[in-house]
Amino acid sequence: MIMTKGQKWFNVFNMLLLGAIGLSMVLPFVHIIAQSLSDAVAINAGQVTFWPIGFTLGSYKLILQDPSIWIGFRNSVTVTVFGTLLNLLLTAMLAYPLSRPEYLFRRAVLLMVLFTLVFSAPLIPNYLLIKELHLLNTLWALMIPMAISAFNLFVMRSFFMNLPNELLDSAKIDGCGEFRIFWKIVLPLSKPAMATMGIIYAVAHWNRYAEAVFYVSDRRWIPLQVRLREIVFTDQYGQSDVTSELLVHLSPEGIKMAVIVVATLPIMLVYPFLQKHFIQGMLVGSIKS
Amino acid sequence: MAAKLERSEQALYTFATRGHRWRFVRKYWPLYVLSIPGILYFLIFRYIPLFGSAIAFQDYNVFKGIKGSEWVGLDNFKRMFQYAEFLPILRNTILIGLYDLVFAFPVPILLALLLNEVRAMLYKRIVQTVVYMPHFLSWVIVGGIVVGVLSPSTGIVNHLLSLFGIEPIYFLGENGFIRTILVGSGIWKDSGWGTIIYLAAIASIHPDLYEAAQMDGASRWRQIRSITIPCIMPTIVILFLLQIGNFLDFGFERVFVFLNPLNSDNGEIIDTYVYRAGLVDRQYSYTTAIGLFKSVVGLLLIVIGNKLSRRVSGEGLY
C-alpha cells in the first residue's frame, strides 16, 4: 500500500501514543516492585523511581512471617478451587437442559434467569438470607451465593446448542441414557468451553472482595484480598511476634508495596493462559448477544 | 435477548392432551432432574432476597422477623429524600456515573481504532497483551497501586511534581480528587480490556468496503470516519445501553477501597452508603428501601434507553 507523507507521520505518532499507553500500564508496576525492594532511607527520601535503591528483601521476609497473610492465602485458594468446581458443575447442569428442545420449561426458566440480570435484590435481604442459612463467617458464603452467573449460563447454553446433534442421536440409538450422554459425551466434548469458563469463575473468586466484607468478619476465614486492603490502606501490617530488628530498616510504604507484589504474583503467573482463554470466552458471549 | 431466541424455537413439540405432555416429560426425566439444583439456586439466592425486599416497606425488627414487623408503607422512601444525609450521596452516585459515561466509555473505542491502524502485527500484539493485563487485577490491588503511585511522601507522581516545584499533594485525602481517581483508575484497569469487543466488531467488517474506498481515493482518516465507525455503531449503541442500565451501579469494591473520612464527602456512593448505614449501623429497612430504589431506577433506565435507541437507530437490547 502506498502511503502519503501524512499517513507515515500518523503511523509514527500512533505507535508512539500506543507505546506510551502501554508504558502507563507497566510503569506503575515497575515503580512498586522497585519500592518493595528498597530500604527505608531511600524510600523516605523519595529517591526510588523505577530501580531499587539500597536493595533489601526485608519487606518480603516480614510479610511472609505474618501468619494472617498465610491464612488469607489458604482461604483464597480454597474458595477459588472449590468455588470454581461448584460453579462449573451447577452451570453445566442447568445450561444443558436449557439447550435441549426436549426440555419443555426452557422459556420459563430462561425468563426467570434473565430477570435476575436486570433487577437484583438489595444488599440487606441478601445478607439476612445468608444469615438465616447460617452461612455467615464460613467460606461457603463466598461460594454458594455466587454459584451460577446468569451471563455465564447463557454463554454455556449457546455452546451446548452448537454441539453436533448427530452425536447425541447416535448415542441415543446405542442405548445411552440421558445422564450418560451428559456425563460421557457432552461434558468431555465441552472441555475447551469448561476451561474458559473455569478461568473466568476462578479469577472472580480470587479477586472477590465485597462479599467477604459483607459476610465474613471472623479473622480465621477472611480471604487474602481483605487482609491486603487492611495492610495497604490502614497500615495494619506485621504481627507482634515479628522481630523489630527487621522493621528498623524498612519503610511502611516498602512493606505495603511488597504485599501488593505478592498478591499480584499468582495472577501474573497465569496471565498468559488467562489472556488466551478469556478472549475466546468473551467473544463467544458477544456473538450470542 | 434470550426471549428473542426462544420465540423461534417455540412449539417444536405440540401435545394433544396433558397426558401426552406429561408422558413426554417422564420420558426425558433426567433432563429435568439435572436442572433442579440450578433452578433451586436461582429461586433461593436470587428470588427469596427479592421478596425479602418487602422489609423496605416495614419497620423491620430482627427479632420479630418479616412476619412480625410493622408495615409502614412508604415511610422509608420518604425518609430517603427528606434526610439531608442521602441527597449528597445520590448526587455523588449520579455525578460519578456521568463522569464514567463521558470519560471512560469512549476510551476503549478510541483505543480500538488506534490499535486497528497499527500495521506492525508484533507491535500490536505486544501493546494488546500489556493493556489487557490490569483487567485481571482485583480492585484492592489496583487501589494499592494507586496508593503507591500517588503517595505524598514516596509516590512517583508527587516526585515528578516536585521537579516542577509543586508541593506534595495527598491525593487520596482530598475531596477534590476522589472522583477523578475513581473514574481514572477504572479507565486504567478496564479500557484495554474493553477494546476486545470493538476489535472483534472491526475485524468482521468486510474488506471489500475498504478496497472500494481506496479505489475512490479515500484517505485512512476518511475510511475510519465513513466505514469503520458506522460499521461498529451497533456495537457501540448496545454497549452504551448496557452502560446506561448500570448507571447507578458504579460498583462497591472500586469505591470502598479508596474511601476514607477525608474523601467520603465526594466519594461515598449508594452502594457504600448502604453497606455503612445498613450492615454496619443496622438500619435494615431504610437501606433496603434505598437499594430497591436503585434497582427500580436501573430497570427504568434500561427500558427507556432501549426505547430511545430503537427510535433513533433501530437497534435495541431486546
pLDDT at residue A262 is higher than 80 = yes
Query: Which pLDDT band, with edges at 50, 70 and 90, does A54 fall under?
Result: confident
How far is the alpha carbon of B49 from chain A, nearest alpha carbon, in Å?
5
What the block records as the C-alpha cell of A161 is 446448542
A76 touches chain B (CB under 8 A): no
What is the distance between the alpha carbons of residues B106 and B176, in angstroms, rounded to a whole number?
24
ipTM comes to 0.87
Give contacts of A100 with chain B, Cβ < 8 Å.
28, 31
Tell me: pLDDT of A288 over 50. no
H or E, element range at B59: strand B58-59
Q: Is residue B42 part of a domain?
A: no
**Contact: A253, B257; criterion CB under 8 Å:** no
Q: Which residues of B touch A63 (CB under 8 A)?
A: none
Question: B211 and chain A: CB distance < 8 Å anywhere?
Answer: no
Mean pLDDT of all residues in A109-118: 91
Confirm whether B24 is domain-assigned.
Answer: no
B180 touches A at CB < 8 Å? no
Provide the residue range defining the domain that includes B151.
81-312
Q: What is the CA A191 to chain-centroid distance, rounded?
A: 20
Query: What confidence score (pLDDT) does residue B53 get?
Result: 92
- For B227-250, letters b (16+ CB in 10 Å) and e give bbeeebeebbbbbbbebbbbbbbb
pLDDT-derived band at A243 (thresholds 50, 70, 90) equals low
pLDDT in tens, B265-308: 899 999 999 999 999 999 999 999 999 999 999 999 988 888 88
B154 contacts on A by Cβ (under 8 Å):
35, 43-44, 46, 48, 251, 253
Q: Say if residue B1's pLDDT is above 50.
A: no
Task: Please enumerate, as own/partner, the contacts of B60-69 that have beta carbons within 8 Å and a separation of 24 or more.
Answer: B60/B284, B60/B285, B60/B288, B62/B284
- Is residue A75 predicted with pLDDT exceeding 90? yes
Dihedrals phi, psi of A129, to nearest 5 degrees: -65, -50
Do A122 and B30 count as a contact with CB atoms less than 8 A apart?
A: no
Closest CA to B115 of B134, B128, B103: B128
Reply yes or no on whether the pLDDT at A65 is more than 50.
yes
Q: How far off is chain B from A241, nearest CA to CA, in Å?
A: 25
* Higher-pLDDT residue of B151, B55: B55
Minimal Cα–Cα distance from A170 to chain B, Å?
16
What integer pLDDT is reported at residue A38 of this predicted model? 83
pLDDT tens-place string over residues B19-56: 888 888 888 888 999 999 999 999 999 999 999 999 99
> Chain A residue closest to B142 (CA)?
A260
Is residue B264's pLDDT more than 90?
Answer: no
Tell which residue, A8, A173, A204, has the closest CA to residue A87: A204
Grid cell at residue A77: 485458594
Q: Is B131 helix (H, G, I), strand (E, B) or coil?
A: helix
- Residue bearing the bigger pLDDT, B258 or B312: B258
Max mean pLDDT among A2-11, A25-34, A140-149 falls in A140-149
Type of residue numbered B116: N
CA B280, CA B273: separation in Å to the nearest integer? Answer: 10
Q: Residue B217: left if φ>0, alpha if ψ -120 to 50, beta else—which one?
A: left
Please tell me which of the candidates A35, A90, A289 has its beta carbon nearest to residue B38.
A90
Asked if pLDDT for residue A286 goes beyond 60, the answer is no
The three grid cell numbers given for residue A46, joined into one nine-digit string: 523519595
For testing contact with chain B, the best of A124, A126, A154, A289 (most B CBs within 10 A): A124
pLDDT mean over B150-168: 84
Q: Where are the alpha helices (DSSP H) in chain A?
A: 5-36, 40-44, 58-65, 67-99, 106-118, 123-132, 150-161, 165-173, 178-180, 187-189, 191-207, 210-215, 224-234, 244-248, 252-288
Instruction: Look up residue A184 and give its DSSP letter.
Output: I
* This prediction's pTM: 0.87
Q: Which positions 126-155 of B are in contact with A (Cβ < 8 Å)?
A: 126-127, 129-134, 136-141, 143-145, 147-149, 151, 153-154
Is the pLDDT at A60 greater than 70, yes or no? yes
Residues of A in contact with B291 (CB under 8 A): 121-124
Nearest-angstrom CA–CA distance, B256 and B270? 11
| Neighboring chain A residues of B56 at a CB cutoff of 8 Å | 122
- The answer to whether residue B4 is domain-embedded is no
Domain count, chain B: 1
Helix (H) or strand (E) segment spanning residue B78: helix B75-82
Question: Between chains, do A94 and B56 touch, taking CB under 8 Å as contact?
Answer: no
Domain assignment present for residue B181? The answer is: yes
Nearest to A126 among B24, B49, B294 (CB): B49
CA A143 to CA A88: how far, in whole Å? 12
pLDDT at A111: 93
* Residue B170 contacts A where some CB pair is shorter than 8 Å: no
Q: Nearest CA to CA, how far is B186 from chain A (Å)?
A: 12
The identity of residue A136, as a single letter, is: L
- In chain A, the residue whose alpha carbon lies closest to the alpha carbon of B256 is A210
Q: Quick one: pLDDT band at residue B244, thresholds 50, 70, 90? A: confident
Check pLDDT > 60 for residue A240. Answer: no
Nearest-CA neighbor of A278 among A178, A196, A179? A196
A255 touches chain B (CB under 8 A): no
All cell numbers assigned to A154: 447463557
Candidates A180, A161, A104; CA nearest to B30 is A180
How far is residue A26's CA from residue A30's CA, in Å, rounded to a whole number? Answer: 7
Mutating which of B146, B156, B162 best tests the A interface, going by the most A Cβ atoms within 10 A?
Answer: B156
Chain B interface includes A113 (CB < 8 A):
yes
Residue B52 is nearest to which of A48, A129, A153, comparing CB atoms? A129
- CB-based contact, B3 to chain A, within 8 Å: yes
User: Which band of pLDDT confidence, cut at 50, 70 and 90, is reported for residue B2?
Assistant: very low
Element holding B191 (H helix, E strand)? helix B175-203
* Distance separating alpha carbons of residues B197 and A287, to the nearest angstrom: 10
Minimal C-alpha gap between B194 and chain A (Å): 10
Judge: A123–B132 Cβ closer than 8 Å, yes or no: no
Q: Which of A258-262, A274-278, B281-285 has the least mean pLDDT? A: A274-278
Any domain includes B233: yes
- Between CA A263 and CA A219 the distance in angstroms is 18
Q: B73 pLDDT exceeds 60?
A: yes
For residue B266, tell me if it sits in a domain: yes
Residue numbers of B between 186 and 205 with CB closer than 8 Å to A: 188, 192, 196-197, 200
Query: Cβ contacts of residue A167 below 8 Å, gap of 6+?
Result: A185, A189
- Write out residues 9-68 of B within 8 Å (CB-CB) of A: 9-10, 12-13, 21, 24-25, 28-32, 34-35, 37-39, 41-42, 44-53, 55-56
Residue B31 domain-assigned (yes or no):
no
The secondary structure element, H or E, covering residue B84 is: none
Q: According to the model, what pLDDT value does residue B158 have?
A: 86
Helix axes A150-161, A191-207, angle to 10 degrees: 170
Query: Of A84-93, A167-176, A219-228, B233-242, where does mean pLDDT reach its minimum?
Result: A167-176
Residue B51 lies in a domain: no
Output the domain CATH number for residue B234.
Answer: 1.10.3720.10
User: Of B227, B244, B229, nearest to B317 (Cα)?
Assistant: B244
Query: What pLDDT is recorded for position A86?
Result: 97
Q: What is the DSSP letter of B16?
A: S
Q: Using CA coordinates, name the residue in chain A closest to B242.
A: A118
Q: What is the crossing angle of helices B175-203 and B121-132, to 10°?
A: 140
Contact criterion met (CB below 8 Å) for A55 and A249: no
Q: Rounded mean pLDDT of chain A? A: 85
Residues of A in contact with B153 (CB under 8 A): 44, 46, 253
| Chain B residues inside the 8 Å CB shell of A109 | 35, 39
- Contact (Cβ atoms closer than 8 angstroms) between residue A58 and residue A72: no
Distance CA A118, CA A98 (A): 20
- Are residues B149 and A28, on separate chains, in Cβ contact within 8 Å? yes
Binned at pLDDT 50, 70 and 90, residue B10 comes out as very low
Neighbouring CB atoms inside 10 A of A273's CB total 11
